[in-house]
A and B are shown apart, each in its own frame.
Chain A
Amino acid sequence: MSSALRLLTLSWLLLGVAFAQSGGVYTPGQFQTTNPNYLLPNPFYFEGRIDWNLLGITLPLNAWEFMERGIHYQDDLDDTASAIADYETALTFNSLQNGTCQIVTAASLVNGVLPSTLNPAPCIFTLRLRLGYLQEQSNPPYAIQLFQEVLKIDPLKLGVNSLIGETYVIEAEQTSDPVAQAQAYANAIQAYQAELALSPVTAVTTALTGDTANNAHVHWALAQIYLTLNQLSSAKSELQIYLQATQWHSDVYPWRITLANKLIATLP
């Protein structure tokens, strides 16, 4: 974190304390007990978006409050810069690196039970995913680092490996170094394959749904990488699986289905 950001964080903290002590509009611990929209962590943070106007927070003071205000900036005000600043501040309070958050594992249990309070608090995945997405274009390595932290928090979470894959593709497209580009594409392929491994199409899946493939967008993305790398056989294979995956689910870009058919017809 930059020193400017640290200074900003400290200023906010001091301001918050001043408000609390002077009996101003915001007294931490007061409205939380009476406002049902302010959820007291037990022990996890609420991993979602609460309408900012319902929270009654004047000055954010902790990781969760900064995250919620960041979400407000991002979703409601389209103010990406302020969102990033808040997410960064939130991370300083919920960091694996400085020990202010923990991954919840068997070691977090006390006598086999999850206690109602964890110290340090659990690491928040929403914060990292949102900040990572906003950094995909400007700082792909940082985005990837954040996404990989999410995989440490919850290795089974769907969509995270896809985010890593798409960020590696951005990295590949941004570099002029052919070696780095090849490595980035290889990493992207690996990430997309990791995504597929999390929701495999098993015999049970097919028996219950009729699907013989899934994750259409992952297969489409893989096909695009293979086409870029001129690995046409792999591209064709991925396009074929894409068609299987869209058989009963179509696509948000339905023309891709027609395009896939036409491409398959031209590929060796």
Chain B
Amino acid sequence: MPVRRYIAIALLVLGWVAGLGCGTTQTQVTGVSNPVQFQAQPFQRPEACLPCHQRQFDELRQAVKAGYRNASPLFNGLEAAGNLINGGLLRPVYSDSTIILPDGTLLNTNMFSSPILTETRQVQAGFCFTCHNADAETVGENPQTREVPPLPGLGSMFDPTIFRPLRDYNLVDANGNQLIPPQIGAYPPAGAQPSLGAAGITCDFCHDQNGPNLDRSFQHDGFGNTSLYLNQTKEKVGPFLFPVAVKNNFHVASNDSNKIAFLRAGAFCNTCHDVRLPNNNLTSNEVNINPGGQNVQVFRLENLSTEWQLGPYNSTNNPFGKVVRCQDCHMSLFPYAGNTSYEVGDLSVTSPTPGVFPTDYAAVPGLSTDQNYPLQKRQVVTHFFTGVDVPLLSAQELKDRLGSTYPDPYANSIDTHGLPTAIAVRRQDLLQAATRVSLAHSDTSVASGGSFTVRVEAVSLTGHRFPAGFSQERTAYIQLSVTDANGFVLYQSGYVVDKPHPNTGETSPDGNLDDEDVEHVHAVVDPGHFASGAYAPGTTTNGGNNVVFELGPDDGPESRVSEGKPEGLVLFRNELTHIFLPCPSSSTNPPCTTDLVGRTDAQGNQIHVQTAHFEETFNAALANSVDNYRSLQPLQPRIFEYQIQLPTQAELQTLGVTLKGPLQIHAQVNFEHFPPLFLRYLTQTTGAGGPTGNGLNLLTEQSIDSLLKNVQNISEADTSVTLLP
């Protein structure tokens, strides 16, 4: 077992690390049989690392995971929405919990502290918080250092009126004491500073790793749900052996070759970047295979690591002839280190080269090392961890929540390597490296009044599928237009229309297209509402179902996947599905509501299903199936056909139009990190009209309008089609 090998080697190198780990306070690596003992060191703020690692600190601050995530209205809204559906079960519990599970046992371990996840409630406890703030959750075992308290009541005892967003707990005053806004969700009080946990996945998280925790991964493979050991000691795992000793023994640079190798491998990223959600999946049976875990059923919300693990970049069978790790794209100079040209199927591709790293100091020379031992420049990694998100927070609110030096996401700035630093710029450049499209297989001519086929060949160049991560919300799609030589639009797909959104107060079109959804489906998600009296988790009172759900004019996803029709939107977004089930024929107590789809027929009667009914859902808490195969798999080109009918001569005559050839075809891939309809659901369910009865102050129509920025045209292709008489 790798962990045991780490331990054995680490014990050997202990002697070499003369005296550094021999303090009076010791801590044990939990969950391993042969623990290493290093001097305990509490979870550190990233600022503690700043003096010696300024560059890494600056880069990491731009990253979502260690930057704005915990202040993000989206992250907070998602976590809140899940809790409002299920009665607060996603909030962490700690070892002092007195909550009793339905089977009579005590629930006093959360997703991170449970040695083996034998109960669904253990996976739910701290489900979001664990992955995004495992260190803070660990620190929270001590009530004196706990930031996020357990809720006083869960399930049917949940009180939504006292529910706060997580970010309410991420503020401290000038003395470091927790500063909870007096009103739920209120703007940070003057003088508030970010708490220890505000930064989320910080320096300490990765460099405290102590190997994979197989027992907490559902397939006993070290994949997903933070299945690794964290070692809050002075031992910090870096990327290379035999580093220079650290000044004043602030930390001990690990010389454990196995830990170092783990940190440098994709396997390290795998421990978090699969997310298995504890819900019954009615189309695919997947349970925790660890002893006692058979009752914990899961489905794959994020499947990124599995996709990489099974894909061409985790082999030498890719254009670069070597394994391309997560670090090679997300911790390197990518996509700013030159291009490589290669063939993928019949596509000729030129794209940024992965795996090129800068040369720099690993720490600041002159102040980082014992006896000021001189440092050499060496190949180092960057810590931008660029992804596909940008904050839905203003630059000012970012500073007010995360500190006055928090960088502007849209700044036009470069670092010492000459690379853009702003997250929005880096996101755009990363996305532009993600896909390529071609129209080369399209029909080359069409008779006037006839039909023809446009074929868009699309390929993902990413190490995982595209989009990945929370791929059921990440919205990548093909925008296609067919015009004649005069610009007359004959066909469009992947288009958006400026329209009102009365559900969130936008009563007329606002001139902004970034807040519009593509036109394949029209959906409004029921935000739920506050109901006086007993809280009932999982009922329609708490929202989540589609109160409006109808097909739009560009319905490609459904017609292409289910019907095999060559028409409509090509959407690479994966899909969460809610399979509604009929109720038993005899009455139940409490009354069965699984058959309610959440909307009414034309006569105003609630629609009940009589048979199993599949429907896209936008709330993961309500999903019981998931389709993770709508995204593009890496380096496997696919051709998407559009069968397009030209207007007949009679129709053209009525229109008063004479078509002029050749026809112009344009295809481009666009990206939006979250669909607006989903943001509007979060806006409402966390708003004053939602189940809490309070405004959590997370999102508004105005914040969506001003802060949701999509990325258009990450790849494109053009061709022309001869128009025959």
State which size class the interface on A falls in.
35 or more
Residue A173 at the B interface, CB < 8 A?
A: no
Partner-contacting stretch, out of B144-152, B466-474, B607-615? B607-615
Complex: A254 Cα to B480 Cα, angstroms: 13
Complex: A72 Cα to B342 Cα, angstroms: 26
Chain B residues within an 8 Å CB radius of A48: 561-562, 627, 629-630
Tell me which residues from 73 to 101 in chain A have a Cβ below 8 Å from any Cβ of chain B: 74-76, 83
Whether the pair B655, A112 counts as a contact (CB closer than 8 A) is no
Partner of A40, one of B284, B586, B601: B284
Whether the pair A130, B283 counts as a contact (CB closer than 8 A) is no
Residue A240 at the B interface, CB < 8 A?
A: no
Residue B588 at the A interface, CB < 8 A?
A: yes
Residue A1 at the B interface, CB < 8 A?
A: no
Given that A41-B285, A106-B583 are contacting pairs, would A159 and B488 also be in contact in the complex, using a CB cutoff of 8 Å? no
Whether the pair A107, B282 counts as a contact (CB closer than 8 A) is no
Chain A residues within an 8 Å CB radius of B607: 156
Chain A residues within an 8 Å CB radius of B240: none
Complex: A41 Cα to B284 Cα, angstroms: 5
Residue A194 at the B interface, CB < 8 A?
A: no
Partner-contacting stretch, out of B69-77, B84-92, B406-414, B551-559? B551-559
Q: Mark A242-268, 1 if CB is under 8 A from B, else 0.
A: 000110111111110011001100000
Chain A residues within an 8 Å CB radius of B559: 159
Return A134 CB to nearest CB of chain B, in Å: 7
Residue A153 at the B interface, CB < 8 A?
A: yes
Return B460 CB to nearest CB of chain A, in Å: 11
Residue A148 at the B interface, CB < 8 A?
A: no
Given that A129-B564, A158-B551, A208-B502 are contacting pairs, would A259 and B655 also be in contact in the complex, using a CB cutoff of 8 Å? yes
Complex: A156 Cα to B565 Cα, angstroms: 20
Given that A129-B563, A250-B553, A255-B490 are contacting pairs, would A105 and B654 also be in contact in the complex, using a CB cutoff of 8 Å? no
Given that A208-B503, A217-B553 are contacting pairs, would A153 and B611 also be in contact in the complex, using a CB cutoff of 8 Å? yes
Residue B187 at the A interface, CB < 8 A?
A: no
Once A and B bind, how many residue pairs between them come within 8 Å at the CB atom? 208
> Most chain-A Cβ atoms within 10 A of its Cβ — which of B282, B491, B492, B633?
B282
State which size class the interface on B falls in.
35 or more
Return A236 CB to nearest CB of chain B, in Å: 14
Complex: A114 Cα to B565 Cα, angstroms: 32
Partner of A41, one of B283, B522, B553, B568: B283
Given that A112-B592, A130-B563 are contacting pairs, would A49 and B551 also be in contact in the complex, using a CB cutoff of 8 Å? no
Whether the pair A205, B548 counts as a contact (CB closer than 8 A) is yes
Whether the pair B655, A43 counts as a contact (CB closer than 8 A) is no
Whether the pair B493, A209 counts as a contact (CB closer than 8 A) is no
Tell me which residues from 484 to 505 in chain B have a Cβ below 8 Å from any Cβ of chain A: 488-493, 495, 497, 499-503
Partner of A44, one of B522, B551, B553, B625: B625
Partner-contacting stretch, out of A21-29, A176-184, A195-203? A195-203
Whether the pair B491, A51 counts as a contact (CB closer than 8 A) is no
> Most chain-A Cβ atoms within 10 A of its Cβ — which of B568, B583, B602?
B602
Whether the pair A42, B282 counts as a contact (CB closer than 8 A) is yes
Partner of B492, one of A45, A152, A252, A259: A252
Residue B585 at the A interface, CB < 8 A?
A: yes
Whether the pair A255, B602 counts as a contact (CB closer than 8 A) is no
Residue B636 at the A interface, CB < 8 A?
A: yes
Chain A residues within an 8 Å CB radius of B601: 197, 200
Return A32 CB to nearest CB of chain B, in Å: 11
Complex: A44 Cα to B636 Cα, angstroms: 28
Residue A103 at the B interface, CB < 8 A?
A: yes
Whether the pair A105, B310 counts as a contact (CB closer than 8 A) is no
Residue A7 at the B interface, CB < 8 A?
A: no
Chain A residues within an 8 Å CB radius of B707: none
Return A132 CB to nearest CB of chain B, in Å: 8
Partner of A36, one of B306, B503, B582, B636: B306
> Most chain-A Cβ atoms within 10 A of its Cβ — which of B281, B550, B651?
B550
Residue B579 at the A interface, CB < 8 A?
A: yes
Chain B residues within an 8 Å CB radius of A17: none
Q: Mark A155-189, 1 if CB is under 8 A from B, else 0.
A: 11111000100000000000000000000000000
Chain A contacts to B: CB under 8 angstroms: 36-37, 39-51, 53-54, 71, 74-76, 83, 103-107, 109, 112, 114, 116, 122, 125-126, 129-130, 132-134, 152-159, 163, 197, 199-200, 202, 204-205, 207-211, 214-217, 245-246, 248-255, 258-259, 262-263
Give me 5 A-to-B residue pairs in the complex whose CB atoms sit less than 8 angstroms apart, sorted by A's number.
A36-B300, A129-B563, A209-B501, A252-B553, A255-B490
Closest 4 CB pairs of A and B: A42-B285, A39-B284, A199-B550, A248-B499
